[in-house]
Structures are given as structure tokens and as C-alpha cells.
């Protein structure tokens, strides 16, 4: 779920999301400084952007969306994390 990856001597923050699958309410956890996050985005399986938040978003509510697979991208200073979530 969440941890810290080592990259040389520096720790690279990681992102986790739970519960997964869920009824549409998800919690994002981040092991680093939230100021390092530029944006949090959600896409459907067809690649359409459904949600954009500048900065770190700790909770996502997709309960108004149809059941299926969605993709969450968290863009940081050092990398972009892509997560897959399932709405039941």
C-alpha cells in the first residue's frame, strides 16, 4: 500500500489507495510532503479525464460513477504514480 522506495541515498515517496475495490470512496495516502504533489487526476477506462485537483487530494469520491475500473494519476516533483481503482 504505502512505503518509501530507496533511490540511491534518497527516499522517494510513494502513494497508496484504499479500500480497493470500494463503493467509490477512496483514501489516498502519501509517504512524503504533500507540497511535492502537483496534481491528482482521475480517468475512466476510455481515457477521459473525470477529475483534476491541483496538489494532493487525500480523498476521492467516485460513488456517483458507474461500477468499473478507473485510473488515478498523482504527479509529483520526482515521478508520476499511476494507480488502478475499482468501483463496485
Per-residue pLDDT of the chain (88 residues; tens, 9 = 90+): 444 444 444 567 889 999 999 999 999 999 989 999 999 999 999 999 999 999 999 999 999 999 999 999 999 988 999 999 999 9
CA angle at residue 17 from 13 to 23, to 5 degrees?
A: 170
CA distance 80 to 74: 6
DSSP-assigned beta bridge partners for residue 11? 6
- Cis? peptide before 19, omega within 30° of 0: yes
Predicted TM-score (pTM) of this structure: 0.84
Residue 84's nearest CA partner among 12, 20, 3 is 20
End-to-end CA distance of the chain, in Å? 20
Amino acid at each position: 500500500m504505502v512505503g518509501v522506495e530507496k533511490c540511491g541515498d534518497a527516499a522517494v515517496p510513494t502513494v497508496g489507495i484504499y479500500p480497493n475495490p470500494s463503493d467509490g470512496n477512496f483514501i489516498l495516502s502519501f509517504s512524503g510532503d504533500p507540497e511535492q504533489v502537483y496534481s491528482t487526476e482521475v480517468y475512466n477506462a476510455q481515457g477521459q479525464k473525470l477529475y483534476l485537483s491541483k496538489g494532493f487530494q487525500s480523498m476521492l469520491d467516485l460513488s456517483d460513477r458507474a461500477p468499473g475500473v478507473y485510473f488515478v494519476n498523482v504527479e509529483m516533483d520526482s515521478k508520476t504514480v499511476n494507480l488502478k481503482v475499482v468501483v463496485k
